[in-house]
Chains A and B, each alone.
Chain A
Amino acid sequence: MATLKCNIAGIDSINPFWLASAPPTDKYINVVRAFEAGWGGVVWKTLGIDPPVINVSSRYGVHKSPQQSIVGFNNIELISDRPLKTNLDEIRQIRKEWPDRVIIGSMMAVIEEDVWKDLAIQIADAGVHGIELNLGCPHGMCERGMGSAIGQVPDMVEKVTRWVKEVVDIPVFTKLTPNITNILWSAEAAQDGGADAVALINTVNSIVSVDLDAMAPTPIVDGKGTHGGYCGAAVKPIALNMVAEIARNPDTKNLNISAIGGIETWRDAAEFIALGAVGLQVCTAAMLYGFRIVDDMIIGLTNWMDEKGYETIEDFRGMAVPNTVDWNALNMNFDTKALIDPEACIECGKCHVVCEDTSHQAITFEVAEDGKRVFTVVDDECVGCNLCQIICPVPNCIEMIPVETTKPYITWPMHPLNPNNN
């Protein structure tokens, strides 16, 4: 049977599933419940210097699908609102009680060297396995010159990372914000500062909804709202891309990545690992379903690895990285055509209307003599865009069939129609 034991930036973990620094890792009772449920580690809710911050009510907003399932989630909560000593005492206690589990101390401060160094020393002294630098929080703390206010300036990312590395001898994770132009600038800065790993993504700046009666963004605090940090399944695609950017960049490809962003299932986890992540952090899914979801993540990932013949996470880690390329490296001679299985078709007509209205008028609609509604792809018009397959409600009814060709793999830079080649 496959093992999920792994080593993340030099830290041994019984599995790659850690809880991200957030409300679920705020205090002793939550973290103990998480370890009882089977999580491999936690990144403790971000610590700052005393006096602790004060939070507001309410704190969370939601973006739902029409089926009422939660697609995205946001929060305007700040860092830990409890005294530093209370947190550190609890960390010491749990380290004793749960020796095989990982605790990472997350921290943030204003851009002052002494403050960072002093806080990092105190946290390391509590016995954490590593320190995570929260340079990503996009709400509240950034207005005080912390979180994303630092993470958005590569020079500061490098500086803060270096400061902490100078005073602790445990692994340092630099947590990156997605609210930037190019994730590589911050990742390279973290690497230059000596980071053992980058953790990404932190939450995305967001307003999840506007209450049209209150005329205010949600969550509403006494009639007013503010932008918050967006997370959950909706941000997974953003996170996957940013992880892949770092993993396939020659300058950062050896950097350890602790992936965060919409991981809800073992499959999500496997996708991030395939794109190079060494560890995984989860928050929203636990907040939506409770800590018990880790059980399925562990069993599901193990079963899948067994099916595929992977014995360890390293066996498939990064396997999708070589296949993640720039657009300019794609084969211009590859072509697919949609094929509708008339037996499986339930005659809803959605493929026809979307292709007719928004694509290439490549699906005809006829009513047969027996009244059957028949939808047929016109190969000459079909560009293989996948839209019909995506909107079709019946699994496997529409298949994208590659067109057989003897033409060579040709990229746009090589293409005869590229004006640069003339």
Chain B
Amino acid sequence: MALEPNNSINGRPLTSAQINDNFIDLHKPLSHQQAMAESARCLYCYDAPCIQACPTSIDIPTFIHQIRTENIKGSAKTILSQNIMGGTCARVCPTEVLCEEACVLNASLERPIEIGDLQRYAIDDLIKKSIEHPFQRAEVSGKSIAVVGAGPAGLACAHRASMLGHDVTIYEAKEKSGGLNEYGLAAYKMVDDFAQKETDFILDLGGIKIIHNQRLGDNLHLENLQNNYDAVFIGIGLDSTWSLDLENEQVEGVSDAVDFIEKIRQSDDKSQVKVGNDVIVIGAGNTAIDAAVQAKRLGAENVTLVYRRGEQQMSATEWEVNLARTNGVNIKLWSTPKRIIADEHVAQIEFTKTQLKDGKLIETPFTYTLQADMVLKAIGQKLELEDLKGIDIERGKIVIDENYLSSISGVYAGGDAIDCGEDLTVQAVEDGKQAAHAIDNMFDSLNSNEGEG
């Protein structure tokens, strides 16, 4: 059965306009009045727990205080000095398990400050109106850095390195910059081409050049970069996915959730994105949720998210899981796919029920099948190892030391490509920023060694 656009919900076809309406901003930006009221609720804690909960250590009480005094430009600079992608992070951070979880108001049975929404309020004008870039470059050092990947880690590294006076060239495999910000996040979280606007804003600093369609191991080689630059930063993310290891996995209708998400993001008219009527999403992370919710919003009749463990173990946050539920996604737990039933096109999936025994996940004799004309795999991503011969890799990710240095001298890495346990945009930004400082320190120590010599 072929997949057709012009989808339906409960048998009623959705118009193109209705489908596109389903992809407008998930959170409305705060109005001036809302921002004033919300900022006034902030207690302005001392040595605030929310700062410690932020991977980039944004001085949250200060930026909120600045909103309250209507020093919005100052507030934006407070945020961006720690996190140059504060705009994206304001939209996509799981704040409910980071800053907002740490908000002391939780302890007083009040709802926490809406830090993410306030952060967006502070930054949006600055990014969207192209107001003068708030940072300046230091005196040019004469050093050059190659950054591989124009995603959050690479752009953050490039921006900080350029601020420190170094010239940066970014090599990006895709046509557009932004990495997952551009290709990998749900469309209703990143409306109005925000990833491109943010990239433009970052480049406004100067000293950063981006060359697109440059893929490591393909038309780009690490060795050349090492030879031509004083340092290399690898922020290539994870561009391959784990497979189910099942027969028929290659049939039509079975694909990676990340590809589905990318297709939606890159489509100007969402109603032209094909979706099934019986969609099964396999996985339990935020990617699985993004795929499931967007499939539903495209008009899929039945969307079922299937996970082999329980809700407690889902890596998607509680907020994301609730979003799926309120969008009508069925969530089936303790089930693992056993068989893909297909001719040329997927028709059904057979699942085996699982359970925990002595702390280990085991399969039970019980099985069931679900109708499926579209199966989206969201069971994790990994690094294409072939690209990085010579660099130590563990569990599919680059090994680094405490200075973001890989096993090769002069080659640093950050973001999803390294094994730090966090696959968050905000963590990637922090990695890039810290790696830039590590590279800068390395240059300093080389200079002082030369001086001594």
Contact = CB atoms under 8 A, between A and B. Distances in A.
Interface of A: 65-68, 346-350, 352-353, 365, 373, 393-394
A416 B48 CA distance: 46
Contact of A353 (B36, B46, B108): B46
A369 B108 CA distance: 22
B1 interface: no
A359 B257 CA distance: 58
A380 B63 CA distance: 36
A352 B46 contact: yes
B17 interface: no
Given A350-B44, A373-B47, A393-B43, 15 more contacts: A67-B40, A68-B33, A68-B36, A68-B37, A346-B107, A347-B45, A347-B107, A348-B48, A349-B45, A349-B48, A350-B43, A350-B45, A352-B46, A353-B46, A365-B46
B104 interface: yes
Contacts of B68: 66
Contacts of B46: 348-350, 352-353, 365
Contacts of A352: 46
Contacts of A394: 108
B207 interface: no
A67 B49 contact: no
A349 B108 contact: no
Q: Is the interface of A mostly helix, strand, loop or mixed?
A: loop
A65 B68 CA distance: 11
A346 B104 contact: yes
Interface residues of B, number: 18
Nearest to A67: B40
Q: Is the interface of B mostly helix, strand, loop or mixed?
A: helix
A421 B45 CA distance: 47
A373 B40 contact: no
A181 B105 CA distance: 45
A353 B48 CA distance: 11
Interface string B17-42: 00000000000000001001101110
Given A348-B45, A350-B46, A66 B107 contact: no
Given A393-B43, A393-B108, A66 B49 contact: no
B265 to A, nearest CB: 38
A66 B44 contact: no
Contacts of A348: 43, 45-46, 48, 104
A21 to B, nearest CB: 34
Contacts of B44: 350
8 contacts: A65-B40, A67-B41, A68-B36, A349-B48, A350-B44, A352-B46, A365-B46, A373-B49
Contacts of A373: 47, 49
Contacts of A350: 43-46
A346 B108 CA distance: 6
Contact of A67 (B37, B47, B48, B108): B37
Nearest to B45: A348
A347 B104 contact: yes
Nearest to A391: B43
A394 B106 CA distance: 12
A360 to B, nearest CB: 16
A295 to B, nearest CB: 28
Contacts of A66: 36, 39-40, 68
A95 B36 CA distance: 47
The 10 A-B residue pairs with the shortest CB-CB distance in the complex, in nearest-first order: A349-B46, A353-B46, A346-B107, A66-B40, A348-B45, A346-B104, A67-B40, A348-B104, A348-B43, A346-B108
A36 B43 CA distance: 43
B40 A349 contact: no
Interface string B84-123: 0000000000000000000011011000000000000000
A77 B44 CA distance: 39
A352 B107 CA distance: 18
B47 A365 contact: yes
B47 A346 contact: no
B35 to A, nearest CB: 11
Nearest to A356: B46
A14 B33 CA distance: 42
Nearest to B33: A68
Contacts of B33: 68
A335 B48 CA distance: 32
B54 to A, nearest CB: 16
A394 to B, nearest CB: 6
> A66, A67, A68, A352 — which one has the most chain B CB atoms within 10 A of its CB?
A66
Contact of A346 (B36, B37, B39, B105): B105
B378 to A, nearest CB: 33
Interface string B309-331: 00000000000000000000000
B113 to A, nearest CB: 12
A391 to B, nearest CB: 9
> A350, A352, A353, A393 — which one has the most chain B CB atoms within 10 A of its CB?
A393
A160 B100 CA distance: 64
A348 B46 CA distance: 6
Nearest to B40: A66
Nearest to B102: A347
A398 B33 CA distance: 32
Nearest to B108: A346
Contacts of A346: 104-105, 107-108
Nearest to B106: A346
B30 to A, nearest CB: 14
Contacts of A365: 46-47
Nearest to B109: A346
> B37, B49, B68 — which one has the most chain A CB atoms within 10 A of its CB?
B49
A260 B105 CA distance: 38
A373 B53 CA distance: 14
B40 A68 contact: yes
Nearest to A375: B46
Nearest to A393: B43
B419 to A, nearest CB: 25
A14 B424 CA distance: 68
A365 B49 CA distance: 13
B98 to A, nearest CB: 15
A349 B47 contact: yes
Contacts of A353: 46
A312 B108 CA distance: 40
Contacts of B105: 346
B49 A347 contact: yes
A409 to B, nearest CB: 38
Contacts of B49: 347, 373
A352 B104 CA distance: 15
